Amino acid sequence: MAAEPQEEENPKFAPGEVIHDVATVRGMYQNYFLDYASYVILERAVPAIEDGLKPVQRRILHAMKEMDDGRFNKVANVIGQTMQYHPHGDASIGDAMVNLGQKDLLIETQGNWGDVRTGDGAAAPRYIEARLSKFALDVVFNPDTTEWQLSYDGRKREPTTLPVKFPLLLAQGVEGIAVGLSTKIMPHNFRELCQASIAVLRGKDVQLLPDFSTGGLCDATNYNSGMRGAKIRLRATIEKVDKTMLIIRDIPYGTTTTALMESIVKASEANKIKIKKVVDNTAAAVEIQVQLPTGVSPDLTMDALYAFTDCEISISPNTCVIIGDKPRFVGVEDVLRLSTKATVRLLERELEIRQQELWERWHNASLEKIFIENRIYRRIEEAETWEQILETIDAGLKKFVRVASEKPKANDQRVVLRRLVTEEDLTRLTEIRIKRISKFDGFKADEYLQKLTAELEEVADHLANLTRYAVAYFEGLLKKYGAGRERKTQLRTFDVVTAQKVAVANQKLYVNYQDGFVGYGLKKDEKADVICDCSDLDDIIAIKRDGTFVVSRIAEKTFVGKDILHVGVYNKNDDRLVYNMVYVDGASGISFAKRFLVSGITRDKAYDLTKGTKGTKTLYLTANPNSESEIVTIQLSDKAAARVKQFDFDFAELAIKGKGSMGNIVTKQLIKKIAQKSRGDSTLGGRETFFDAVVGRLNTAGHGRYLGAFDTDETVLVVFKDGSYELTTPDPGNHYDVPSIVLLRKYDPETVLSAVYMDGDTKVHYVKRFRIETSTLGKRFTFITETKGSKLLAVTAHPEPVVEAKVQKDKKGDKETEQIGLHEFIDVKGWKAMGNKLNYYKVHALDLLTDEGPEPQRREAARKRAAGAPAPDAAEAAPDESAVAVTAEEVAQAREVASRSKAQLGLF
* Residues forming the active site: 127
> Residue 640 is which amino acid?
A
> What DSSP string runs through 393-406?
HHHHHHTTEEETTS
Side-chain-side CA neighbours of residue 605 (13 Å)? 7
Cβ–Cβ < 8 Å for 261, 278: yes
Do residues 595 and 654 make contact, with C-beta atoms less than 8 angstroms apart? Answer: yes
Cα(191)–Cα(481) distance, integer angstroms: 9
Q: Which of 737, 742, 776, 724 is nearest to 246 (CA)?
A: 737
Give the whole-angstrom CA distance, residue 753 versus residue 776. 18
CA dihedral 807, 813, 815, 821 (to 10 degrees): -30
Q: What is the dihedral of CA 450, 454, 457, 459, to 10 degrees?
A: -130
| Bridge partners, residue 837, by sequence | 766
Q: Are 41 and 52 in contact (CB under 8 A)?
A: no
| Residues 723, 792 contacting (CB under 8 angstroms) | yes
End-to-end, the C-alpha distance of the chain in Å comes to 114
Q: Which residues pair with 159 in a beta bridge?
A: 148
Q: Are 216 and 235 in contact (CB under 8 A)?
A: yes
How far is 587 from 616, CA to CA, in rounded Å?
7
Strand pairing class (617-624; 564-570): unpaired
Question: Widest CA span of the chain, in angstroms?
Answer: 154
**3-class secondary structure for 623-684?**
EECCCEEEEEEEEECCCCCCCCCEEEEEHHHCCEECCCCCCEEEECCCEEEEEEEEEEEECC
Residue 542 Ramachandran class (φ > 0 left, ψ -120 to 50 alpha, else beta): beta
Distance, CA of 561 to CA of 399 (rounded, Å): 119
CB contact at 8 A, 826 and 835: yes
AA letter at 711: D
Contact 623, 601 (CB under 8 A): no
Spatial distance between the Cα atoms of 55 and 151, rounded to a whole number of angstroms: 12
Alpha-carbon gap, residue 450 to 444, rounded angstroms? 10
Q: How many CB atoms lie within 10 A of CB 598?
A: 21
- The Cα 891–Cα 566 span in angstroms is 37
Distance CA 780, CA 755 (A): 17
Q: What is the 3-state secondary structure (H, E, C) of 703-744?
A: CCEEEEEECCCCCEEEEECCCEEEEECCCCCCCCCHHHEEEE
Count of CB atoms within 10 A of residue 145's CB? Answer: 17
Query: In sequence order, which residues have a C-beta less than 8 Å from that of residue 699 and are 6 or more positions away?
Result: 689, 690, 691, 692, 732
Closest of 513, 521, 592, 599 to residue 560, by C-alpha = 513
**How many C-alpha atoms does 368 have within 13 Å on its Cβ side?**
21
